[in-house]
Every structure is written in structure tokens, then in C-alpha cells.
Amino acid sequence: MWDEEKDQNRWKMKFILPEHNEALRQLHLAKHKIERPTLSPEQIEEFEYTIATAMSEDLPLDFELYDDGFVREVNGRVVYVDHLRKEFRVKDNRGDTNLVKFANILNVKNAPSA
């Protein structure tokens, strides 16, 4: 009787192969993906004004960016605008430079003062 219970418990053990774990993770991520929102010309104009003002006064900004179905945040000061590549270079508090493409901006606002 005891050996029978032991055999049944052996098959109840939780064990997932790495391939299954990765597939479950990808499925979970796919459920949370969003479509790229369409911005109005007024929103884009407001973003341009906010960025220009922050650059002239050397103020930090909070960017919300579309990144392959997800929203990513970048915080820092715009140090360069590359009109040919259509991107900003944003230096964060750690001194790292982040590339922010114009087309990926979902929202931009002044960062709260520390």
C-alpha cells in the first residue's frame, strides 16, 4: 500500500522543463502587450513644447516610450536632438545615455523636482 502511494506522489511532483517555462513566460508576456497608440497632432505639439522648454532650462523629463508592445520609462535630460535619425539622446541620473526615437514617444512630462 505504501509503495503505491509513493508511486502516485512521484508523478504529482511539480517539475517544468526550461522550454516549457520559457513558453509560459512568452504566453504571459503576450497577454500584456498593447497596440501602439496613435497620437493626435496636438499631443505631438505639446510634447515638442515640453521638450524644447526643458532643454532650454536644463530640466529633467520623464518619457513613456512604446517598446515592442510594452511601455518603457526613461528619465533624464535631453542632451542632443538628432533630426536625421529622428531621435533624442537622454542622459539619466547614472550618466548613461539613452536613445529615444521620436516615433516611440507615448508621453513626456517634466520630472518632479528632487
Strands (E), the chain: 61-67, 70-82, 87-91, 97-101, 105-110
The CA distance from 114 to 112, in Å, is 6
Residue ranges in the chain modelled with pLDDT below 50: none
The CA distance from 51 to 74, in Å, is 13
pLDDT at 24: 74
pLDDT at 23: 76
Domain range list for the chain: 2-32, 41-110
Rg (CA), the chain: 23
- Which DSSP category does 113 fall into? P
For the sheet with 97-101, list strands across it. Answer: 97-101, 87-91, 70-82, 61-67, 105-110
CATH of the domain spanning 41-110, picked from 2.30.42.10, 2.30.30.100, 3.40.50.740, 3.30.70.20: 2.30.30.100
pLDDT tens-digit profile of 42-57?
999 999 999 999 999 9
